[in-house]
Amino acid sequence: MHQPVMVEKVVEFLNVQPDCVYIDATCGTGNHTRAIIEAADGNCKMVCIDKDPRAIERAKEYLRDFSDRIIFINDGFENIEKIFRDAGLDRAHGILFDLGFSFEQISSGEAGFGFKQDGPLDMRFNKNSLITAYDVINRFPKNEIEKIFEEFGEIKDAKKLAHLICMERKNKPFETTREFADFITKHRKSKKTIHPATQVFQAIRIFVNNEIENLKMGLAGAVNVLASGARIVVISYHSIEDRIVKKFMKTNERIKMVTKKVIVPDNLEVVINPRARSAKMRVGEVIN
């Protein structure tokens, strides 16, 4: 089962109080939502957002004991202002963006996010999206693939990889996640702690789901639905996202950074949950 990251710190820095409204902008299975509700002694309203309908269904089951306190929304947080308006709510007192993947998403081959379980080259959170990983890998021109690898994966050998992919697909298109990951592994060295295909999958997934622009829109929209003194807590897992969050909190005139230094999991949490090792938390507070 999915292990949520920095749960106690999320509750602490959101400054959770009873009789308030909180937003879990990346609901996933609902672990952070449960912690927030319990910290408020069961007396708060939650808005749980997730673009993946499978995640919403898992969260509804996991949080069924609190269903009267939760509004579930199958949408992306880039639409946070419309979501809040359509829900008939005024202001929220805190919002959490956990930008990582749930164990269920990674371990399921159906959506093609990971490569430990074989699956189609999809990688879409929302099945209504037009572009899939298959399209990127098998149909995009070499220079576009190279650009995706450089911008969204910070891959140093992007040019070489793009060339090799385009040569290989002339013989036969890539069909599955395992097939593509094995090809990348054969042609790429990586750090011992990171699978050679990890950055490549990350880059394609970010592009397919327009994650960078959506994050910028979600952060900007969050400011407009939060009350004065409300907190924005963001947990990111790679440097591209963290830089965006850091710049947003430093330059937005309505945000005051709560902590100067980035917050990371303690050693014990990393031992218990190795997926937490790359997590970075930043916290901002809305000011008038």
Residue owning tokens 């902590």? 259
Amino acid residing at 98: D
Tokens read off for 230: 């409300």
Q: Would you say residue 71 lies in a domain?
A: yes
- Whether 99 contacts 241, CB under 8 Å: yes
Among 208, 225, 244, the domain boundary falls at 208
Among 166, 182, 208, the domain boundary falls at 208
Q: Would you say residue 77 lies in a domain?
A: yes
Phi-psi category of 112—alpha, beta or left, where left has phi over 0 and alpha has psi -120 to 50?
Answer: left
- Give CA–CA dist 182/282, Å, rounded: 35
Tokens read off for 281: 């938390």
pLDDT of residue 131: 94
Q: Would you say residue 272 lies in a domain?
A: yes
Burial call 176-193: b when 16+ CB within 10 Å, e when fewer? bbbebbebbeeebeeeee
Among 165, 185, 208, the domain boundary falls at 208
- How many residues in the chain? 288
- Give CA–CA dist 198/266, Å, rounded: 24
**Torsion angles phi and psi, residue 142, rounded to 5:** -55, -45
pLDDT of residue 117: 76
Alpha helices, DSSP H only, in 15-113? 31-39, 53-62, 80-86, 103-107
Look up the CATH number of the domain holding residue 86. 3.40.50.150
pLDDT of residue 171: 95
Q: Does one domain contain both 195 and 231?
A: no
- Whether 22 contacts 96, CB under 8 Å: yes
Q: Does one domain contain both 167 and 253?
A: no
The domain containing residue 195 runs over which residues?
130-208
- Whether 176 contacts 119, CB under 8 Å: yes
- Give CA–CA dist 240/83, Å, rounded: 26
Provide the number of structural domains found in the chain: 2
List strand residue ranges (DSSP E) for the chain, in order: 20-24, 44-50, 70-74, 92-98, 226-236, 255-257, 280-286
- Give CA–CA dist 265/247, Å, rounded: 21
Listed as ranges, residues in the chain with pLDDT below 50 are none
